[in-house]
Structure 1
């Protein structure tokens, strides 16, 4: 396939897919078909109808990829949607994003909002915004700093999980919802929780902090529980 140096779509223009060095979609432009390039950037409300393979993908406006995406780096500053599976080294979400499939990465950092319908597999997962994961979050290290409102992960499997919360003035005045992480199952070697609601927590070292409501804790090593937390049942295994 012939590689063209640059593709720029302005306004409501459209182009077929193909191989390019750089692709810029400005305005409400559309690329029809699969796309392969070094860099892809969305600056308006553009969309790519097929799958994308690139070194870097940047969504600064309101970009949508109808297929899957494979890249070394994906950064979402605006509103992004990728309907297929995602494979990347680094995923950075500063805006709002939705993923319709499975997300695989080496490093994920969320400072905005992210919703993943499928599983999420990564070495390092860090969230300082809001996250919703419909499947399993499988990672080595997970650090979640909760903000106002609910973050939800159906299942978490990791080596080390640390959940903390940040309560601003509006939350303390009850003008904003309290921060909370909800999960069905949390499994790990070292688990440290704050403001978490879970059915089952299972690990070696388990520390249940303030604001937690846990139905069952299963631990093989050390277990501690804050007096303000609620744990219905704890079992050493």
Structure 2
């Protein structure tokens, strides 16, 4: 006989509350909540402050307040409009960061869109990485499509992809007004891809098939296979066709 699936019930915490882990339909935190186990749910929404001491498995996660997840997270869609910290690995099909998200371990996704602040102590692996904000990646950023529009300085140890484009984001946003006068640039040790188009970038090595080094760049070594363009305003130590 087929085993009957356990019915899913909603979990709501308003005010202050603590609960164990479990299997739920919709989980909603509107105050201060603590979960002392693993959570398996359809939707997870926090408008207050929540701490999950276990893992999180959900179709969608939406954080409008603050959240901390101690265990690994497996999601279909993640939306961070507040502040979140993930202590273990995170895998989500889509990631939208409009607030601030910190990952102590790796982040894997199909699509990552950053309109706020992303920080990770390991790497980011995805198909599409799009930024209109700020990021700090202590490891490797590996994506097929990399589209970076900075309004604050950004950094990564290494960046690899098929198409890599780096620009300043010309916007009178709050972040630009707050940090007016600071030099906005991307810093990386190695940038490697098929088609690379850089502006306001500082790197040790840039390696690609077709490479454009635009204004505001300082590159120690450029290695290219097919084509190379260097803006008169760019500084390149040496350029080698391979």
Which of 218, 221, 224 is 1:216 aligned to? Answer: 221
Partner of residue 87, structure 1? 91
Partner of residue 166, structure 1? 169
Partner of residue 40, structure 1? 44
**CA distance 1:59–1:169, shift in 2 (3 Å):** closer
Moved over 2 A (4+): 1-4, 166-172
Q: Which runs of 5+ in 1 are unaligned?
A: none
Q: Deviations over 1:166-207 (max 9, x none)?
A: 2557979x9431210000000000000000000000000000
Q: Deviations over 1:127-152 (max 9, x none)?
A: 000011111111100000011x3100
1:80: how far off? 1.0
Structure 1 position 229 matched with structure 2 position 234: yes
- Contact conserved, 2:132 with 2:169, CA < 8 A, in 1? no
Aligned-residue RMSD, C-alpha: 1.7
Residues of 1 paired with 2:132 and 2:19: CA distance?
A: 37
Larger deviation, residues 149-158 vs 122-131: 149-158
Partner of residue 143, structure 1? 147
Residues of 1 paired with 2:163 and 2:180: CA distance?
A: 33
Which of 96, 103, 108 is 1:99 aligned to? Answer: 103
Which of 118, 121, 127 is 2:122 aligned to? Answer: 118
3-state DSSP of counterpart to 2:76? strand
Which of 152, 177, 183 is 2:182 aligned to? Answer: 177
Residues of 2 paired with 1:158 and 1:41: CA distance?
A: 33
1:3: how far off? 4.0
With structure 1 as the length reference, what TM-score do the two structures score? 0.95
Structure 1 position 31 matched with structure 2 position 49: no
1:4: how far off? 3.5
1:25: how far off? 1.6
- Length, aligned pairs only: 235
- Contact conserved, 2:34 with 2:50, CA < 8 A, in 1? yes
